[in-house]
Structure 1
Amino acid sequence: MSNGTSATLSLVLGLGLLAGAGYMFSDTRQLISAAEKAPGIVVGFERRSSKGGSTDYSVIEFATASGEVRRFTTSGPGDYAKGKTVEVLYDASDPAHARVNVFIELWLGSLALGAFGLLCLGVGLGTWLYERARLKAGVEKIS
């Protein structure tokens, strides 16, 4: 694969990751601005397997303002003990859209995607600028 192709792929990947980060950021801001708050209780754990082993994700139960009891699983492994009370943010029009009101649960996904997106964008841009300068200087490509 040529440096030009690598640069293009890295730029496209970086832009895609940044777009995903922007979407996640916007979704979180929208949830926070319109969210209802409710106390939630860690009622159990959901074990998810991956290549490196398995991880337990907290299952949180909370009651909406109308008294409807809802349950959701956190998006990341939390450091919560069974029975612990946590603050839940949920969309009143869609209570299935709920998250624990902690920084990591709300913002880590968009921060991670944004960081990887910027990294890919930087690598792609750096490679593209390097290739451009090399071609401008008349350096032949060695195959």
Structure 2
Amino acid sequence: MVQVQIRGRGARRWITFGAITFGALFLVIGLILTGVSVSFLADAERAPGTVVALEWRDGHNGASRKKRENDEPAAYPVVEFTSADGTPRTFRSSTGSNPPSYEEGERVEVLYRADSPEDARINGFASLWLLPLVFGGIGLVIAGIGTAVAVVGRRRSQAVRSTQPLSECEFPRRR
């Protein structure tokens, strides 16, 4: 186990504050993404769709970063459906996986906004709840660790203060 010693209470306080702030920020982002998914579900039209292709893409979406050995391409389903106005539509899911979550020819339920049918998603856990769960979970863990460190540090400093003898500076002698 690796132990890190941080000198001074000020540095510990800043690191603890940073962890709680970072965690709270991620938790808020997770809650916002949850609200977006809930709002999307409340307004969404439903239509049957078919996975017509699997688009294999690198996990980093073409960004210029070094490729790692374990970077494998992910399959993003391309789905066709017909919106309520009778127009055939096609979209690529924003959620890819390896191994693929869907197969070509598989029937799926599509959720889309009636006012913007190009904003469509497959009615599945990953496409609706993965990002809120990841951000919220990371935020909860980091904020929880930061809070626990702060509480333990506070209890330790209170315990140390309660065991120290009172000095004459704090309570002057009566004469």
Tell me which interval the TM-score lies in, with the shorter structure as reference length.
0.7 to 0.9
**Corresponding residue for residue 16 of structure 1:** 25
Identity within the alignment, %: 32
Q: Which amino acid aligns with 1:10?
A: A
1:36 aligns with 2:58: no
Cα distance in 1 for residues equivalent to 2:139 and 2:116: 30
SS in 2 for 1:37: strand
Contact 1:4 1:127 in 2 (8 A): no
- 1:5 is aligned to 2:27: no
Higher relative contact order (CA 8 A, sep 6+): 1
Q: 1:46 aligns with which of 51, 55, 77?
A: 55
SS in 2 for 1:137: helix
TM-score by length of 1: 0.86
Matching of residue 65 in structure 1 with residue 84 in structure 2:
yes
After superposition, the CA RMSD in angstroms is: 1.8
1:102 aligns with 2:131: no
* Counterpart-to-counterpart distance in 1, 2:14 and 2:92: 40
- Whether the 8 Å CA contact 1:3–1:127 is kept in 2: the answer is no
Q: Give, in angstroms, the shift of residue 124 of structure 1.
A: 0.8
Cα pair distance change 1:7/1:48, threshold 3 Å: farther
- The structural deviation recorded for 1:87 is 0.4
Q: What is the CA deviation profile of residues 4-49 of structure 1, one whole-angstrom value per residue up to 9, with x for unaligned ones?
A: 2221121111111111111111111111111111111111122221
Give unpaired runs (5+ residues) of structure 2: 1-5, 60-67, 162-175
Higher mean C-alpha displacement, 72-81 vs 17-26: 72-81
Deviations 1:89-128 (A, max 9, x none): 1011111221111233222221222111110110110111
Distance in 2 (CA, whole Å) between partners of 1:9 and 1:71 is 44
Paired amino acid for 1:64 = S
Instruction: Report the Cα offset of residue 66 of structure 1.
Output: 0.9
Letter in 1 for 2:124: V
* Superposition misfits of 4+ residues, deviation over 6 angstroms: none
Give the TM-score of the pair, scaled to structure 2.
Answer: 0.71
Q: Comparing both structures, which one devotes a greater share of its residues to strand?
A: 1
